[in-house]
A and B are shown apart, each in its own frame.
Chain A
């Protein structure tokens, strides 16, 4: 709905975050086809993740976090399926259960007066120290996006940080071999 120039006012469903996983042939240009469809048709990408998942068959999995009404998201799914190298599109919001995780690397400026608090917080969130310099430390935290958000919010209250996040990847938690 509402993608026409003659916008329909009767859309009712609310905007929600959706995680889509897209299995694609790992061929040149396939990522551009997928993200080009989003930009060309005016859809949103909140985060994007792509990596090869099966070496022998040359298949990659693209995980896209988007938001929109269920009508818009179902249109996104159908548009994705039109792309020739796309094998399948799974909307994990429609699956009974799924798990998601992302990784963030957090570059933390540490001084004597916040050191204790920082370490306590990292400890609490089980953030792993992966590099240590004189007054800066890089921590790695993995988990659901909400957990990473909370960590970042709290550490921000203590000290200055720089962050890089992978965006989530997700999988249906009832393992299905038949899905391609």
Chain B
């Protein structure tokens, strides 16, 4: 058999046929054959991270900024366990990832061998699907199926565990188009899917007096065309629209219909509109608890339409009236054509009075903050960052916490795929490696990780990666020396006892940057801020900008846990009533 090649060669050949350009990884004993094959070829680039957790977040950042599938290559045992957080993150936020892990040789599996762990067992609940490949001849079909599953339907992470002997063994390679994946293993909507439901939904929208679109990350996963169609539909309906944290950018911030983000730290007008609407059109969102607040008081008087590709999201926490299972792009395209065909139009009088009401809520100016003095307010820092980068193609990633919410509130996104944040899992340490991945995928763009002083330390080792590959990623630290969101909750719910939320012994971030041969900048007062930001943008190197912000600023507005959309807290002088505060305290 002349055309037999090794398992490791099959891995690389499969990746190449799938159009993979870059792999994020870290070598180790159980993947040496694959790394050896990698060494002998030039078509696939490898980015060496400094901890496997960085590899998978980088792959997520790459995937979300480019729309391609992110690929990760790590070794057995600790290599595999280190990617578990990232796999869970990708699962929660529906990011297409293929993660290859080495495994101890087949005959040693189960013997507690060195660097052995039950990788498929550990990762089963945090992947869409996973494989342990024991037969080299199945390797190529597993790879092609894995890529399809990762991208198909609701995207997600897929893991392939390959014992070392299988990487050495010789077998035959099968091409992508020779692999038939049984239909039950994929999501395939029938050709005239949900036709009646779509008509019902569109009619319901046409009769609405107070409609609102509630847009989620599913619209971004459905591709750029989906965002275009969603904008078009909202425009012809003339309805207000609000977006989830994951959906920011689907409709541009400057769009006249946009009310911005909704939810726990969303806009007052968006949450009030959700509460008072009569028809809610959920497109690609999942009624997450950060969005809904208290369920029994969630949008009590509305008919709800829910478009989702994952049927398990329907009626999971909120019962809906018109569920539509399908891909956003296809469903919204049909909705538009039904709307036009039937010449539907929402009554202008109703629509106007709805907008009048919303504009009244807008007057509250919920993002207003006290910007006096020379000390930099974190909100102001993000505002300046936005103003000084808005004319550049910019990708913004974040870590998790207060800075993440300020970024979501004050940075204005006009396009999808430009905003990368860990929404579902809320992974501190996500933003920096994700920025590395985004920069790898978009070498000419400006990539900024808006970070907190606590989060950035969770994957700071990736500075080496950024420097090694000359990735001019910008780390913009809103430094308040606290785990800000933890401190905020402790202030609001735990009597101001700041248990372990002060980040003592922080490094000097400027010197830290310099020690990696990156550039370190610091802004101590508002006088320095613009100059530091401009210098950061102009520097063709990795930059850490250490922005000293006021220490005890809180992130408002806020729906406290256990409260409803119409019970938003606009400042800390406004106390939640005691009963719901007690109830809310036990929630997350």
| Residues of A participating in the B interface, judged by any CB pair closer than 8 Å | 1, 3-10, 25, 28-29, 32-33, 36-37, 40, 71, 74-75, 78-79, 81-82, 84-88, 180
Contacts and interface: CB of A to CB of B under 8 A. Distances in A.
Interface string B59-78: 00000000000000000000
Given A32-B121, A78-B312, A78-B314, A6 B295 contact: yes
Contact of A1 (B120, B130, B311, B315): B315
Given A78-B311, A78-B314, A86-B184, A6 B125 contact: no
Contacts of B293: 6
18 contacts: A3-B317, A4-B289, A5-B289, A6-B562, A8-B317, A9-B296, A25-B185, A29-B121, A29-B132, A36-B125, A37-B125, A75-B316, A79-B312, A81-B312, A84-B185, A87-B184, A88-B184, A180-B184
10 nearest A-B pairs in the assembled complex, by CB-CB distance: A78-B312, A8-B295, A84-B129, A4-B317, A87-B184, A6-B295, A78-B311, A40-B125, A84-B185, A6-B289
Interface string B307-328: 0001110111101000000000
Given A10-B296, A25-B182, 9 more contacts: A29-B120, A32-B124, A71-B315, A75-B312, A81-B312, A82-B312, A84-B129, A87-B184, A88-B184
Contacts of B289: 4-6
B292 interface: yes
Contacts of A9: 296
Nearest to A79: B312
Of residues A37, A74, A79, A84, which shows the largest number of chain B Cβ atoms within 10 Å of its Cβ?
A: A84
A71 B320 CA distance: 12
Given A79-B312, A82-B310, A33 B296 contact: no
Contacts of A74: 315
Nearest to B312: A78
A102 B409 CA distance: 59
A8 B300 CA distance: 12
If over half of B's interface residues share one DSSP class (helix, strand or loop), that class is named, otherwise mixed; here it is mixed
Contacts of B587: 5-6
Contact of A36 (B124, B182, B296, B311): B124
B124 A84 contact: no
A1 B319 contact: yes
Interface-central residue, B128, B185, B292, B293, by most chain A CB under 10 Å: B185
Interface of B: 120-121, 124-125, 128-130, 132, 149, 182, 184-185, 289, 292-296, 310-312, 314-317, 319, 562, 587-588
B312 A4 contact: no
A1 B317 contact: yes
B3 to A, nearest CB: 27
B12 to A, nearest CB: 25
Nearest to B562: A6
B296 A85 contact: no
A8 B315 contact: no
A165 to B, nearest CB: 28
Contacts of A29: 120-121, 124, 130, 132
B413 to A, nearest CB: 28
B317 A81 contact: no
A10 B300 CA distance: 12
A28 B317 contact: no
Nearest to B292: A6
Contacts of A6: 289, 292-295, 317, 562, 587
A10 B128 CA distance: 32
B29 to A, nearest CB: 24
Nearest to A83: B129
A130 to B, nearest CB: 36
Contact of B588 (A5, A71, A85): A5
Given A29-B120, A40-B125, A7 B295 contact: yes
A151 B419 CA distance: 64
A8 to B, nearest CB: 4
A85 B185 contact: yes
Contacts of B185: 25, 84-85
Contacts of B132: 28-29
Contacts of A40: 125
B141 to A, nearest CB: 13
Contacts of B125: 36-37, 40
A11 to B, nearest CB: 10
Contacts of A82: 310, 312
A71 B314 CA distance: 11
A29 B62 CA distance: 30
Contacts of A87: 184
Contact of B296 (A8, A28, A88): A8
B515 to A, nearest CB: 42
Contacts of A33: 124
A79 B294 CA distance: 24
Contacts of B312: 75, 78-79, 81-82
Which of A3, A71, A78 gathers most chain B CB within 10 Å?
A: A78
A25 B185 CA distance: 10
Contacts of B295: 4, 6-8
A146 to B, nearest CB: 31
Contacts of B562: 6
B296 to A, nearest CB: 5
A25 B562 CA distance: 43
A45 to B, nearest CB: 16
Contacts of B128: 84
Contacts of B316: 3-4, 75
Nearest to A71: B315
A49 to B, nearest CB: 21
A13 to B, nearest CB: 12
B315 to A, nearest CB: 7
A88 B184 CA distance: 8
A6 B182 CA distance: 38
Contacts of A180: 184
Contacts of A36: 124-125
A84 B149 contact: yes
Nearest to A75: B316
B315 A75 contact: yes
A36 B315 CA distance: 22
A37 B126 CA distance: 11
Give the residue among A1, A3, A28, A82 with the most B Cβ atoms within 10 A.
A82
B351 to A, nearest CB: 31
B99 to A, nearest CB: 15
Contacts of A71: 315
Contacts of A78: 311-312, 314
